[in-house]
Chain A
């Protein structure tokens, strides 16, 4: 079991550009959540996808968007990059259980985005 895999591991972009980060969930998981972790801070929830729809969203602008594919993998897109978007972006997968808390969230290694 490969666990949660994210690509790329590192990325450097210029202000104003757009970026796409990718995540493959752990085998058997159907829910993907994305988090932003700025340097020296705890992860902040961006949004969560289940059944190819955004189910919850944190306090992030519309420049942050996502997608979930039929195979449960997911993409995070950020438009009009700002210097403040530099962070470690973490993907977490879990199994949604109706009427109950999702199972344990497994995290990927993250994608380190640097905006210059």
Chain B
């Protein structure tokens, strides 16, 4: 079945970097954009950006530009999100999500139809 499986929980110190992986299975990895969304404890969902697994092209939310890098390894159908210069307020669950997208005469049709299970990243001294 179609699924995204993420790497395990991480504990990092302020100023360090973290790299979270998201392994796709059950579909053609390069046919769907992959997004990253985070959720701080007790807070809402925050979109971080996307990667086009086919081209490697990326687009990051403005507030993460300069600190986040999204990459992929098509040989193992895995996307990665690396966040650097970690701060205490980066403590959150990080999700990857597949974007289902198509365009027709009525416009664009984009939605996040498959999600990973989430990876807890804790920033603590």
Binding between chains A and B = no
Interface residues of A (CB under 8 A from B): none
Q: Which residues of B contact A (CB under 8 A)?
A: none
